[in-house]
Amino acid sequence: MKPAKPKQTKGPAHVIAAFGYSLAGLRCLWKEVAFRLELLGGALGLTILIVAGASASRLLLFVLLFLAVLVIEALNTAVEMIVDKISPEWSEFGKKTKDVGSAAVFLIIIANGVYFSATLFEILYL
């Protein structure tokens, strides 16, 4: 038996329902090892920048870039779930689709690493 489709809501009830859906998505993401590792990496990077004495604006930009990692990881996870549902058997299309999503995560992590390194270099050596 299929679960019942959630009833459409409007106004404040819609906002509350959307918040619940977001929390459900975060619970789903928490099951992903990559998501937990990225959270750990972001927390570690933020801690290092705070201890090193980064300015508030530098910390804010780091946090925003870190959130971008989590956003792209969430989208990548969603793409992988869709591919697995549509094409449960291995396929070249599925592999390429997942590889492109993985590349997106990799590129934003590189951007974070560059920013983190440049910020730390500026604090320690300039």
What residues act catalytically? 73
With beta carbons less than 8 A apart as the criterion, state whether 69 and 37 touch: no
User: CB-hemisphere CA count at 13 Å for 34?
Assistant: 15
Q: Cα–Cα distance between 69 and 64 in angstroms, integer?
A: 9
* Dihedral Cα 111, 112, 114, 116, nearest 10 deg: 160
